[in-house]
Chains A and B, each alone.
Chain A
Amino acid sequence: EAGVAQSPRYKIIEKRQSVAFWCNPISGHATLYWYQQILGQGPKLLIQFQNNGVVDDSQLPKDRFSAERLKGVDSTLKIQPAKLEDSAVYLCASSLDRGISSYNSPLHFGNGTRLTVT
Chain B
Amino acid sequence: AQKITQTQPGMFVQEKEAVTLDCTYDTSDPSYGLFWYKQPSSGEMIFLIYQGSYDQQNATEGRYSLNFQKARKSANLVISASQLGDSAMYFCAMREGQAGTALIFGKGTTLSVSS
Contacts and interface: CB of A to CB of B under 8 A. Distances in A.
Interface of A: 31, 33, 41-45, 48, 55-56, 89, 91, 93, 95, 97, 100-112, 114
B31 A42 contact: no
A108 B96 CA distance: 17
A103 B45 contact: no
Contacts of B98: 100-103
18 contacts: A31-B100, A42-B4, A42-B106, A43-B45, A43-B103, A55-B102, A56-B102, A89-B43, A100-B98, A101-B31, A103-B95, A104-B33, A104-B50, A104-B95, A105-B95, A105-B100, A107-B103, A111-B42
Given A31-B100, A102-B99, A43 B43 contact: no
Contacts of A108: 47
B52 A104 contact: yes
Interface of B: 4, 31-33, 35, 37, 42-45, 47, 50, 52-53, 91, 93, 95-108
B105 A103 contact: no
Contacts of A55: 102
Nearest to A47: B102
A45 B102 contact: yes
The 9 lowest CB-CB distance pairs between A and B, nearest first, are: A102-B100, A42-B105, A109-B45, A103-B95, A103-B33, A45-B102, A106-B47, A104-B33, A48-B102
> Of residues A95, A97, A107, A108, which shows the largest number of chain B Cβ atoms within 10 Å of its Cβ?
A107
Contacts of A114: 43
Contacts of A102: 95, 98-100
B25 to A, nearest CB: 13
A41 to B, nearest CB: 6
B108 A42 contact: yes
A91 B100 contact: no
A91 B35 contact: no
B50 A106 contact: yes
A59 to B, nearest CB: 10
A111 B43 contact: yes
